[in-house]
A = this chain, B = another copy of it.
Amino acid sequence: MAAAPKNPRPCSIADALALVGEKYSLLVLREVCLGNGRFDQLVRNIGAPRDILATRLRRLVEAGILTRQPYSERPQRFEYRPTRAGLELEPVLMTLMAWGDRHLRTDDDRPMVIEHVCGNELVPQVTCRACGESVRHEDLTAHPQVPGWTVTGPAAV
């Protein structure tokens, strides 16, 4: 084989992570979804270096995930808000949070609880839209659409 120079599997997960997978990006999204969209709030709540944060914010705005809105002229001041595309990443955050709550903590020291409009605490579940069932690894089969990119088949412990 003639020295294949970087040719990873084409994949929407990889593409999504290219936009929001850098350090702090998803935490920025968390904060703006919580309504804390000002630069200094982001710095404090995330704990990121200001310059890195500025870089991330530019990228997220340019990617159409955030907008930068003025909330005051004279002193010009801005805050960041999620776009519709940004809000649609919130389920990713909820799913991650649920995983963290379950695997990284001993029961009830959860730092944040989300309440759903139905009145209950939100326990997010990923379900199949067609049948409504909760998604389990064993129930999935991957079908790569691009020639040359196969899968070995489901793997478990």
Contact = CB atoms under 8 A, between A and B. Distances in A.
A43 B86 CA distance: 31
Nearest to A85: B103
Give the contact-size bracket for chain A. 35 or more
Contacts of A67: 157
A83 B96 CA distance: 17
Interface string A82-93: 111101111111
Contact of A122 (B23, B27, B103, B140): B140
A47 interface: yes
Interface of A: 4, 6-17, 19, 21-23, 26-27, 30-37, 41, 44-47, 64, 67, 81-85, 87-105, 110-133, 135, 137-146, 149, 151-157
Given A87-B137, A94-B135, 19 more contacts: A11-B112, A13-B27, A14-B27, A17-B96, A19-B104, A81-B155, A84-B157, A92-B92, A111-B145, A112-B142, A114-B140, A116-B128, A116-B130, A116-B133, A118-B130, A122-B129, A122-B140, A126-B126, A127-B127
